[in-house]
Amino acid sequence: MASDVLIIGAGSAGSVVANRLSADPSRTVTVLESGERVTDPEMRRPELWPFIHGRSYDWAYRTTPQKGLAGRSLDWARGRGPGGSSLVHAMAHMRGCRADFARWVEATGDERWSWDSLLPSFIRSESFSGGASDVHGDSGPLPVLLPGPDLSSPLVLDYLAAWEALGVQRIPDHNGGEMLGATPNSLTTRDGERVTVSDVYLDPVLGRPNLTLLTGVTVHRLIVSRGRVTGAAVTRDGRDEIIEADTVILCGGSIGDPLLLMRSGIGDPEVLGAAGVETVLESPEVGRNLHDHLLGAGNLYSSRIPVPPSRLQLSESMTYLSKDGWERTSGAADIVVGCVVGPSASESFTAEAAHVAPGAGYTLLFGVTNPTSRGSLRISGPDIGDEPIIDPNYLDTEHDREMFRLALEHARMVGRSDELARWRDSEVLPGPSVSTPEEADAFIARAAITHHHPVGTLRMGHTDDAPVTPDLRFRGVDGLHVVDASVIPSITAGPVHASVLAIAESFSAAASY
């Protein structure tokens, strides 16, 4: 089997790229996806997103024990099936702020990754509930809902009022270029249900005769000959075969892409040799620069009055703040505090959380927007069944620990505000026993959970050590491109999904082959 373009991964980025590139009828496009079509009705229900992890459509990765998290390992949910991680994510749609993309420009030396240059891609991707404007689109594939007071929890409305009473500005939404302030989360839902990227980008165009989606395909390695990728070795319907292509685009995400490259002999020779893989191309940074958002779960309260069930997706609002105080209303965010309409805690505090039943409590999550800790991932053996070694190296830097303490302080500040007094009974976590910086650090180490935003393992950059070039070509292998969260050099302040869509839209618009 042969194709002009072979896309590996039918997740969020792969769905966008497949749609846009197959719009040219002269170009044949094949998409390979390891998972099958997901029919679980609970996947569609926004309020159940934390509870569907670990099912058949989750890769269910797990990190190594983390020194910064009191030796704990974290489960890393990654979607498996058409739609990828849009099958399992929290549906919050936040582009990031101008300052985030200024760092991308610094890393790449290319203005195409600035906020202003990416804005048309953001607009092109969405159908915004508030209609078209200078920063929003109303005719793109993906529905983006900005909830109003009629849908938001009364708890969250009081939470937002509490920030305003403290002097924090209320902003229209998280997607106008600046994020400092309080607002409800925009969500990728429609008519009360989750919408995956495959639903709106890939599925509607599968009737194109030049587009083929193959599911249930195991991709073992890339075929590289004389410095050029020529296809992939796969197992399909129980048979091993080679699928050939003139161009290969990796859209398997921050975990899947580097693991495939390493199995193909592309990476750090020391890592490859330890896993029993012969080196085809030395690329030492493959799998490095791994980073992710953590959230403290959490600043938990028992409630004086019943907390109505969320009509959205539980975590209804994130407030982004500067370490410099309320006076700064633009620029980079440093910390975040979110409001969850229900009790939420890490596995370290199940006993404490068990005393707060759903409807009888609520949680303020807190975290660091731009962590400086960096980790890595690597293969443990030559086969896809060999467990990857994922070490995000959480809370390795003093910056991250200091910002986490500050985030906890701000969560507790808004938690004890007058505007939340009608809800607040008592603070269950961390509780009165946590008051010193040392006690806060110990609590955070046990309370922190992943925000499910791993990025950076094939970072793009203008220097030769960056695995991917600013135009998303993989260095050292002709015909190979990378288009997904793995190329992000430094994480955006909020959830990365919206930025992944913009990366894919930008790449597709610039494609010249």
Catalytic residue among 174, 291, 453, 481: 453
Q: 169 Cβ partners below 8 Å, 6+ apart?
A: 180, 181, 182, 326, 329
CA distance 84 to 289: 22
pLDDT of residue 513: 59
Tokens of 354: 């068990």
Is pLDDT above 90 for 252? yes
* pLDDT tier, 268 (very low <50, low <70, confident <90, very high otherwise): very high
For the stretch 42-92, pLDDT in tens is 999 999 999 999 999 999 999 999 999 999 999 999 999 999 999 999 999
pLDDT of residue 448: 98
Query: What residue segments make up the domains of the chain, in order of their start?
Result: 2-38+196-290+456-487+503-510
Q: 148 Cβ partners below 8 Å, 6+ apart?
A: none
Tokens of 411: 């969560």
- Give the mean pLDDT of the chain: 97
Share of residues in the chain with pLDDT > 90 (%): 97
* pLDDT tier, 351 (very low <50, low <70, confident <90, very high otherwise): confident
Is pLDDT above 90 for 9? yes
pLDDT of residue 512: 64
Backbone angles phi, psi at 408, to 5 degrees: -65, -40
* 482 is an annotated ligand-binding site residue: no
* Domain 2-38+196-290+456-487+503-510 top-level CATH class: alpha beta
pLDDT of residue 327: 83
Angle at 8 between CA 39 and CA 49, to 5 degrees: 35
| Inter-residue contact 74 to 294 (CB < 8 Å) | no
Clarify whether 355 is annotated catalytic: no
| Residue type, position 376, single letter | S
Is pLDDT above 80 for 247? yes
CA distance 11 to 489: 20
- Rounded to two decimals, the pTM is 0.98
CA distance 362 to 300: 6
CA distance 55 to 39: 12
CB atoms < 10 A from the CB of 439, how many? 12
